[in-house]
Chain A
Amino acid sequence: MESFFDWFRILYDNTGINLPFLYDSYDRARMWNGFLMTIKLSVVALFFSVIIGIIGAWLQNSPLKWTRRIVNGYIQIFRNTPPLVQLYFFYFAIGALLPKVSNGYGGEVPILGGFAWAAISLSFFAGAFNVEIFRSGMEAVPKSMTEAAEALGFSRLQIYKDITLPLAFRVVLPALNNNLVNLVKTTTLAYAIAVPEMLYESNQIWSDNVNVTEMMIFLLLAYFFLVGVLVWGMNRWERSLKIPGFGT
């Protein structure tokens, strides 16, 4: 393995193509941690944004007018403002309002760090789109189908969980796919609040090594790969959910 990494040092010496995150163990660790941080942030935000989408779409059908209004207000705010501004708002405005806790060395730190705020902010951002996506899917489930379940004694929640959601899911997977791809790409915004994800660590590396071109090419390829894996997984999932003789 070492000889593999050393090869990139030779590459640098001979050609000037500088990839320190491969041959230098310190940069390698930074890059690797950044990569893991991007994955962690993506997975957490993907998960919570889908949860927000599912719950939001359910609440949007609530018989209570104010519940529906609050959900709609949430969607409007998060869809119609830039995600970077949202992130700053959470981190600087709400973060400043929260109490600080002792860090054990006599100092004080915010109760939520950059990662937590990035995860929250991105979840709400993508969640707003997911609510709309799930709602459109629910509209594609015919009312007669849910009525049949009603006539069998299913409760509203059971109908949502067992009938509407599983069917809506299949309808919206392509749209959900798009939004989740966007979400993974948007994790780079966490850079702005110094969350050490892939873009942030790359920036550290290119500041130290002055190899901006190489790092940019690497970043493009790395995100291309990450999103590719997500799309591949989603497509597989889509196929596994296919119902014989049903629709699309």
Chain B
Amino acid sequence: MNWDDSMPMVSIKDVHKAFGDLEVLKGVSMDIKKGEVVCIIGPSGSGKSTLIRCINALNDIQQGSILVEGQEVNDPHLNKLELRKKVGMVFQQYNLFPHKTALENVMMAPIRVLKQSKAEVEKTARALIKKVRLDGKEDSYPGELSGGQQQRVAIARSLAMNPDVMLFDEVTAALDPETVGEVLLTIKDLAEEGMTCILVTHEMNFAREVADHIYFTDRGVIVEHGSPTTFFDEAKDPRTKEFLSQIL
């Protein structure tokens, strides 16, 4: 593929998506460059989850184009495995495998999907668990971990596949306020290391701090976008202003 680093890592163009008669995305476009951190914010039901699920083909799209490192996602012959090696995703509900320990959760995909050797995977998995500040919890089952700890295992599990882009869908929304911070800190570490991140979030202070770019969605379209400063301080669209006034 003739894609190189200088081109957008993820390029979304005029994406349309409907569930039956319900049009959820009505022509969304955005480009995310390598190493960029992009936050998508917007009211409930505006299509944020749908959009980022389209990026790793958990949802299909009816119209438009999504390129991930030059690979067209909206292609019936898409090699989903190749796509998912590049794109990691973390969900609101952590979705750890409850019958596997934290370490096993992290090790499973590289062993099963990438067919890497167990010894090698274990080494990186332990390092990743350490990186998300969970050393000592390797042998705990998800049911024995707090929400914030589970979510950090889920991040480590995703990172174990060594993705180029990480998608985060409201990963702190189900957490107790005390544990939100530890998860955000983990994501911030990642962002600072240069990981390309696309986040859906309601954490405005966090978005202001880490994002390179903010997109505001409403009813399936991008209403406004810009750098955090322009977005939060100089929002022009009345819908954005109303949303911000409610949330800040």
Contacts and interface: CB of A to CB of B under 8 A. Distances in A.
Tell whether A and B belong to one assembly: yes
- Please give me the 9 A-B residue pairs with the lowest Cβ-Cβ distance, nearest first: A245-B143, A148-B95, A153-B84, A152-B109, A153-B113, A151-B89, A245-B144, A246-B143, A246-B98
A95 B85 CA distance: 52
Interface in B70-92: 80-81, 84-85, 87-89, 91
Contact of A162 (B56, B112, B140, B161): B112
A144 interface: yes
B46 interface: no
Contacts of A149: 97
B87 to A, nearest CB: 8
B56 A151 contact: yes
A150 B99 contact: no
Interface stretch (A5-13, A163-171, A232-240): A163-171
A98 interface: no
Interface of A: 142, 144-145, 147-155, 158, 162-163, 166-167, 170, 243-247
A168 to B, nearest CB: 11
A152 B91 contact: no
Contact of A153 (B91, B98, B99, B109): B109
Contact of A244 (B97, B144, B154): B144
Contact of A163 (B84, B97, B140): B97
Interface of B: 56, 58, 80-81, 84-85, 87-89, 91, 93, 95-99, 108-109, 112-114, 140-144, 154, 157-158, 161
Nearest to B114: A153
Contact of A144 (B81, B91, B108, B113): B91
A151 B91 CA distance: 10
Contacts of B91: 144, 147-148
A166 B99 contact: yes
A169 to B, nearest CB: 9
A152 B113 contact: yes
B171 to A, nearest CB: 12
19 contacts: A147-B95, A148-B89, A148-B91, A148-B96, A149-B97, A150-B84, A151-B88, A152-B109, A152-B158, A152-B161, A155-B81, A167-B98, A167-B99, A243-B99, A244-B141, A245-B98, A245-B141, A245-B144, A246-B98
